[in-house]
A and B are shown apart, each in its own frame.
Chain A
Amino acid sequence: MIGLKKRGDYAMVSPLVFWIVAGVTILAALAVVNLTNLIHSALWLVVAFIGVAITYLILEAEFLAAVQVIVYAGAIAILIVFGVMLTRRGDIRESNLFNNYRIFGGLVSLGLLATIVTMVTKTQWAISGAVVPANQVGLLAQNLLGQFVVPFEIAAVLLLVALVGAIIIAKEVRD
């Protein structure tokens, strides 16, 4: 019943909301990297993921936003459990430390940032003027389970393998 259905409404809100959300998301992402407590890092990751979900909402991709929340933000709890299981240090406050490659690592990430920024600004983005289709879910389903069914299933198997691998590393299979 809230009338945020028309395109114009979003256009009016979006610039300001977008910049706030983008700022919060980036700050949260920085906190993930910089904090030394693994649990705190994982919790800030939730904030970053929800920020991305809100960005999807601003782009009127409701379904994608919900998927972002359920797949990424919802799974953080499992990430924390794995983090606690896999951490070998006695003190959790020093479980997410830096290594000795500060200068080298900084240069690599600056280079990567520069590359991404140039690519984003140089590219001519084709912006469609068409209205967002009402039935996003149906169109997505037709693509995922029709044309792209093989890559979709392969990605699923890959995730399963990664999951089983993580459990084996954590539990150390005996005998």
Chain B
Amino acid sequence: MENLFVNISGALRGWFAGIGLPPMAVEAVMALVYLVAILAFVLLNVVYLVYLERKISAYMQQRLGPNRVGPRGLFQTLLDVLKLFGKEDIIPNAADRWVFRLAAILVMVPAIMAFAVVPFGQGMIAVDLNIGIFYFVAVSSTATIAFLMAGWGSNNKWALLGGMRTVAQMVSYELPMVLSLLGVVMLAGSLNMSDIMAAQKTVWFVVLQPVAFLIYLVASTAELNRQPFDLPEGEQELTAGPFTEYSGMRYALFFLAEYTNMIAVSAIAATLFLGGPQGPWLPSWLWFVIKVYVMILIYMWFRWTFPRIRIDHLMAFNWKFLVPLSLANVLITGIGLEIYKWYQVIRW
């Protein structure tokens, strides 16, 4: 069981080499196989994350949630997806057509690309880059552009306001998020995901870096534009923010991107703070899925228990509290590392 997926990958690689493909082509085809596997994993999970979110919100508000389609409403989201496929695709006359169309596609690109460095199990990283976590930061920093393109291209005042808020919020909260990851990188001494996992063999980094974990949790919620930080779309004031003018499949893509990003951010949290795919008894990939879902449940719990905060509070909280705190965390981690080294020297 442990090596199930690694064996499948190995068998496919052997088979491709066996039918006479040159080594370069085998690598290219395997890259495609990894991409398809990641897409399948993400899409399958997103469909049921929407169901999970609706059920959890319902139970938190003493309702039942979807319960009509299929046993316990299990087919609700599947049919919702089919319904979205059939809807008319409306592009406003005054929209900046290409920007409007491209935005819905581009929003998915960074979301999917982030999964290239996610370790789904022992030896199950699609591309084990030396700069692993930095690649994730770089790719996710470009997500802002798609939201701004949607907001601008719609040529709608709510959309533009939402787009501007997205930029302000995502650019600001990126800073404490990256600085909180720095604490982990300092302890592991590497940006590589496998090295960071290996460094947590004995103690998870959530124990050594509790402040960094909390900063990451708050900042990543803001990066995901989820409640209590959902000002970009805040439906009571901006209808749906950058997505106001979108309909049908294009709207679904934004929805999909939000949940895909949530899985990615949870996967990074599980890898950097919760020890990644390792644990007793169960196979590593199952441990990984469990840890990712624990993180996702925390994000959902946040969403349905906190009210939305005001935009000036949002900015003040980030620049006057989170950023100084994350800088202090980096400083204290550095001092701690030096003290630890010094302690190791005098002990011998």
Contacts and interface: CB of A to CB of B under 8 A. Distances in A.
Name A's interface SS: helix
Contact of B130 (A9, A77, A136): A136
A76 interface: yes
B131 A77 contact: no
B299 to A, nearest CB: 23
A140 to B, nearest CB: 11
Contact of B167 (A13, A77, A137): A77
Interface string A13-29: 10000000000000000
Contacts of A13: 24
A58 interface: no
Interface stretch (B59-67, B135-143, B214-222, B256-264): B135-143
Given A9-B24, A12-B24, A63-B134, A1 B127 contact: yes
Name B's interface SS: helix
Interface string B167-197: 1001100000000000000000001000000
B211 interface: no
A73 B143 CA distance: 10
Interface string A29-71: 0000000000110010010000000000000001100110110
Given A63-B134, A137-B191, A39 B145 contact: no
A1 B128 contact: yes
Contacts of B141: 69-70, 73-74
B152 interface: yes
A107 B144 CA distance: 38
A2 interface: yes
B125 A137 contact: no
Nearest to B146: A77
A77 B166 CA distance: 10
B134 A66 contact: yes
Contacts of B127: 1-2
A74 B144 contact: yes
A155 interface: no
Residue among A40, A70, A136 facing the most chain B CB atoms (10 A cut-off): A70
Interface string B69-88: 00000000000000000000
Contacts of A63: 130-131, 134
B138 A66 contact: yes
A46 B130 CA distance: 25
A63 B134 CA distance: 8
7 contacts: A1-B9, A2-B127, A39-B99, A62-B129, A73-B141, A74-B145, A80-B148
Closest 10 CB pairs of A and B: A74-B141, A66-B138, A77-B144, A70-B138, A69-B138, A77-B167, A70-B141, A77-B148, A66-B134, A62-B131
